[in-house]
């Protein structure tokens, strides 16, 4: 299995730190965020990793080289000309990476989200007969993924605005669907990656991609995937390192993992 770390974001909520460095290099307990993620993947047995960059890209590239990828084969997907969001960033990586990303399952995660997820258990749970797995939990938020009784993805909702996607999702079944919060971590099948690489847009989110698949499945349009499943870890804890006043709390959280 290979991995991708989404590290191209501007990190605007971490200003003023990100006025002089990329979000991926913000230090936590003596190590940059990127190193925390790489080492966790390495310890789970994944050593082929691609990292996308946009904000201060050369600083990330230089740091990776100086540290010999922290024991991993790290390739860079350069988005300095245009920030492509998670779906577009993964599409570019799939289509341009020297190693064939789309020919094996891929674990994708965000550089700024820390969690106690047992990556080995998550990897072992992957079912190649499905589109893949999304790590979700019952954490409170405003935006939720919607799953049926079989933990198959059916849609997305914003409970603050009342928005529901895809638009074809019949409102009569929405109350029966389970609302689960996405962690930003997923494993995607080779078939899914191949389909994503053919998406017509250059810039889009993975949620947009997942909703396009739900739309196709519900409208009986030919779709190359079977389904996308929820993965609900036991005693799951996560933290989005998104604000400057959370750094000390994030350091304590990281050291507790």
Place of tokens 């994708």: 108
For residue 218, what are the contacts with CB-CB under 8 A and spacing of at least 6? Answer: 166, 168, 169
In the prediction, which pLDDT does 101 show?
A: 63
Per DSSP, the three-state class of 143 is strand
pLDDT tens, residue by residue, 27-39 = 999 999 999 999 9
Give the rounded percent of residues in the chain with a pLDDT score beyond 90.
77
User: Domain holding 220: CATH number?
Assistant: 3.90.550.10
Q: Which of 84, 100, 104 is CA-nearest to residue 92?
A: 84
pLDDT at 90 over 70: yes
pLDDT tens, residue by residue, 192-239 = 998 899 899 999 999 999 999 888 876 665 554 458 999 999 999 999
Domain that holds residue 44: 2-256
In the prediction, which pLDDT does 224 show?
A: 46
In the prediction, which pLDDT does 160 show?
A: 93
For residue 16, what are the contacts with CB-CB under 8 A and spacing of at least 6? Answer: 244
Are 183 and 135 contacting, i.e. CB atoms less than 8 angstroms apart? yes
Q: Given its phi and psi angles, is residue 115 left (phi above 0), alpha (psi -120 to 50 degrees) or beta?
A: beta
What Cα–Cα distance (Å) separates residue 42 from each residue in 116, 119, 255? 15, 10, 17
> Which residues in 97-110 are b (16+ Cβ under 10 Å) and which e?
beeebbeebbbbbb
Q: Which of 182, 173, 167, 163 is CA-nearest to residue 229?
A: 182
pLDDT at 96 over 60: yes
What whole-number distance in Å separates Cα of residue 43 and Cα of residue 41? 5
Q: Which of 225, 214, 122, 226 is CA-nearest to residue 177?
A: 214
Residue 239 is encoded by which pair of tokens?
A: 């933290």
Rg (CA), the chain: 18
What whole-number distance in Å separates Cα of residue 224 and Cα of residue 248? 45
Low-confidence winner among 12-26, 58-72, 90-104 (lowest mean pLDDT): 90-104
For the whole model, what pTM was predicted? Answer: 0.94
Kindly indicate the confidence band of residue 180, based on its pLDDT and cuts at 50, 70 and 90: very high
User: How many domains is the chain built from?
Assistant: 1
Please tell me the total number of residues recorded for the chain in this structure. 257
């Amino acid at each position: 299995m290979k991995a991708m770390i989404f590290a191209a974001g501007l990190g605007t909520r971490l200003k003023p730190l990100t006025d002089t460095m990329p979000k991926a290099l913000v230090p936590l307990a003596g190590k940059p965020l990127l190193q925390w993620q790489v080492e966790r993947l390495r310890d789970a047995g994944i050593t082929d990793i691609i990292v996308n960059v946009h904000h201060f890209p050369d600083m990330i590239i230089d740091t990776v080289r100086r540290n010999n990828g922290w024991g991993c084969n790290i390739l860079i997907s350069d988005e300095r000309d245009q920030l492509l969001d998670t779906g577009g960033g993964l599409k570019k990586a799939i289509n341009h990476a020297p190693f064939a990303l789309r020919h094996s399952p891929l674990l994708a995660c965000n550089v700024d989200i820390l969690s106690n997820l047992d990556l080995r258990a998550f990897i072992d749970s992957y079912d190649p007969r499905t589109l893949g797995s999304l790590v979700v939990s019952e954490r409170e938020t405003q935006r939720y993924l919607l799953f049926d009784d079989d933990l198959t993805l059916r849609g997305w909702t914003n409970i603050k605005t009342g928005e529901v996607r895809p638009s074809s999702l019949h409102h009569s079944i929405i109350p029966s669907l389970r609302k689960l919060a996405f962690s930003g971590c997923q494993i995607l099948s080779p078939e899914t990656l191949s389909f994503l690489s053919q998406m017509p847009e250059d810039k889009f989110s993975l949620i947009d991609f997942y909703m396009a698949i739900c739309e196709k499945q519900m409208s009986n349009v030919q779709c190359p995937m079977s389904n996308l499943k929820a993965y609900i870890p036991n005693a799951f804890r996560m933290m989005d390192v998104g604000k400057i006043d959370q750094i000390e709390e994030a350091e304590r959280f990281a050291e507790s993992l």
